[in-house]
């Protein structure tokens, strides 16, 4: 039971961290125009990626631009990415 709770906490923590970083970046930055801004964007997307992936794939799925299989794959990838971010977060906290 402890492992399941740790898995769920890691998933939730990673997705929360991702959402916070994505929204702060959207508030502070615009479109990257220089090479340094582009590399900063890539660095931020390492942390903000799951949230952005879920948002973009949900938008595509609602517009019927992707299949259920593609949408499910995107959600699974975002869940795994969130779990890994959350596992690192939990490891740093402990």
Task: Write the pLDDT tens digit of every residue in 26-62.
Answer: 899 878 888 988 998 999 999 999 999 999 999 999 9
For residues 86 and 17, the answer to whether their CB atoms sit within 8 Å is yes
C-alpha distances in Å from residue 18, one per residue of 22, 51, 63, 67, 73: 6, 6, 24, 25, 18
Share of the chain above pLDDT 90, in %: 73
């Amino acid at each position: 039971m402890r492992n399941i709770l740790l898995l769920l906490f890691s998933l939730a923590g990673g997705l929360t961290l991702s959402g916070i970083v994505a929204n702060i970046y959207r508030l502070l930055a615009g479109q990257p125009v220089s090479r340094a801004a582009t590399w900063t964007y890539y660095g931020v997307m390492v942390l903000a990626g799951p949230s952005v992936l879920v948002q973009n794939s949900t938008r595509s799925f609602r517009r019927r631009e992707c299949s259920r299989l593609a949408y499910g794959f995107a959600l699974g990838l975002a869940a795994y990415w969130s779990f890994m971010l959350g596992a690192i977060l939990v490891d740093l906290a402990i």
